[in-house]
Amino acid sequence: MKHELPKLAYEYNALEPFIDEQTMRIHHTKHHQAYVDKLNAALEGHSELQKQTVEELVKNINRIPENLRTAIRNHGGGHLNHSFFWHLLKKNNGAKPTRNVGDGIVSAFSSFDNFKKLFSETANARFGSGWAWLVSNEGHLEIASTANQDNPISEKKIPIMGIDVWEHAYYLKYQNRRAEYVDAFFNVINWEQVEKNFEHAKKR
């Protein structure tokens, strides 16, 4: 089984002006495609690993043979993280989360505004390339951060929401102004998908 680049459920310009069309196109067709291609290349000839989903590979990264581990961690992680990220994006007209995840955020972080502040600080503080996440840690909502293409699932934390803070995610429009990109990101969070991720996490 070869891993494949998933199609986006929306147009590359759907998130304008918050995330620009050119960034979305390059991010999906070049960066994400490269993770898929390099993951497939790393798995070539390893039929037992080729049978696993990318989530299984990344979740059990420490059980991957050492000579393949770094490639699968980086490119499998890249494929997993971006596949997750695209579903999180939809213009929300400034909406805040409601329903169960909205309640969960308020209960874990006192208020949505406090959650937004803490999440943004974590995203802005990630040195170099990586991600900031809202995760479920044994049912508790927490903010986390990973370097490079690591995913919290390798530490048994289930991602609910996350932001890519690699420069390739924002540099064309925001240059060095990561904080502006992080602020803009709150206009393109698909809270319905976040709700689904939250509910799904409870069943695992």
Applying CB under 5 A, the site for Mn ion has a residue count of 3
150 binds Mn ion (CB under 5 A): no
For the beta sheet containing 140-147, the strands, ordered from the edge strand earlier in sequence to the opposite edge, are: 140-147, 130-137, 158-164
CB nearer to Mn ion: pick between 32 and 59: 32
Looking at 34-42, 45-53, 135-143, 166-174, which segment touches Mn ion (CB under 5 A)? 166-174
CB of 31 to Mn ion, least distance (A): 5
Residue 99-138 contact track with Mn ion, rule CB under 5 A, x = bound: ----------------------------------------
The rounded distance, in Å, linking the Cα atoms of 157 and 120 is 19
CB of 204 to Mn ion, least distance (A): 25
CB of 81 to Mn ion, least distance (A): 7
CB of 166 to Mn ion, least distance (A): 5
Question: By CB under 5 A, what part of segment 6-65 binds Mn ion?
Answer: none
CB nearer to Mn ion: pick between 79 and 101: 79
Residue nearest to Mn ion as judged by C-beta position = 164
164 binds Mn ion (CB under 5 A): yes
Binding-site ranges for Mn ion (CB under 5 A): 164, 166, 169
